[in-house]
Amino acid sequence: MEIAFLIGRIIVGGYYLFNAVAHFAQLDMMAGYAGSKGVPAPKLAVIGTGVLLLVGGLSILLGFLPLVGVIALVLFFLPVTFMMHSFWTVEDPQMKMAEMTNFAKNMGLLGSALMFLAIESPWPLSLGG
């Protein structure tokens, strides 16, 4: 089971790190999109959310300070999910479905992040161990 947990951590941590890199590499595009959704100081918000994803991703991947990583992910998901994917405000049926899908995905990822709290620290095969 320890190997399966490590593989899962690599996949999930890598997912968050991939998205963190995208926040920095595509900063202007993401800030433009965030601005169109009414996010105040969109460039700063994208940088901040990129940092949260980076901290969360590294923590999950390495098993180092998992509580800090989960907190970073919760701080990412709560505002982003409700501000960026507010499907209930969208009129166009296709866009509404896309936002609903992203909202549900984010809620599922938030739930999986919270489940990491049930695993006793230090995690097996981690830098925290």
Expressed as residue numbers, the domain containing 21 is: 2-118
For residue 8, being part of any structural domain is answered with yes
Would you give the DSSP letter of residue 119?
S
* CA distances in angstroms from 68 to 82, 120, 122, listed in the order given: 22, 14, 13
**CB-side exposure of 42: number of CA atoms within 13 Å?**
16
For residue 129, being part of any structural domain is answered with no
Chain mean position to CA 4: 21
> How sure is the predictor about 88, in pLDDT bands with cuts at 50, 70 and 90?
very high
For residue 126, being part of any structural domain is answered with no
For residue 82, being part of any structural domain is answered with yes
For residue 74, being part of any structural domain is answered with yes
Query: Does 87 have pLDDT greater than 70?
Result: yes
Q: Which amino acid is at 44?
A: L
Which tens digit of pLDDT belongs to each residue from 108-123? 999 999 999 999 989 9
Query: Does 29 have pLDDT greater than 80?
Result: yes
Mean pLDDT of 10-24: 98
**How many domains would you assign to the chain?**
1
For residue 35, being part of any structural domain is answered with yes
For residue 55, being part of any structural domain is answered with yes
For residue 11, being part of any structural domain is answered with yes
b (16+ CB within 10 A) / e for 79-112: ebbeebbeeeeeeeeeeeeebeeebeebeebbee
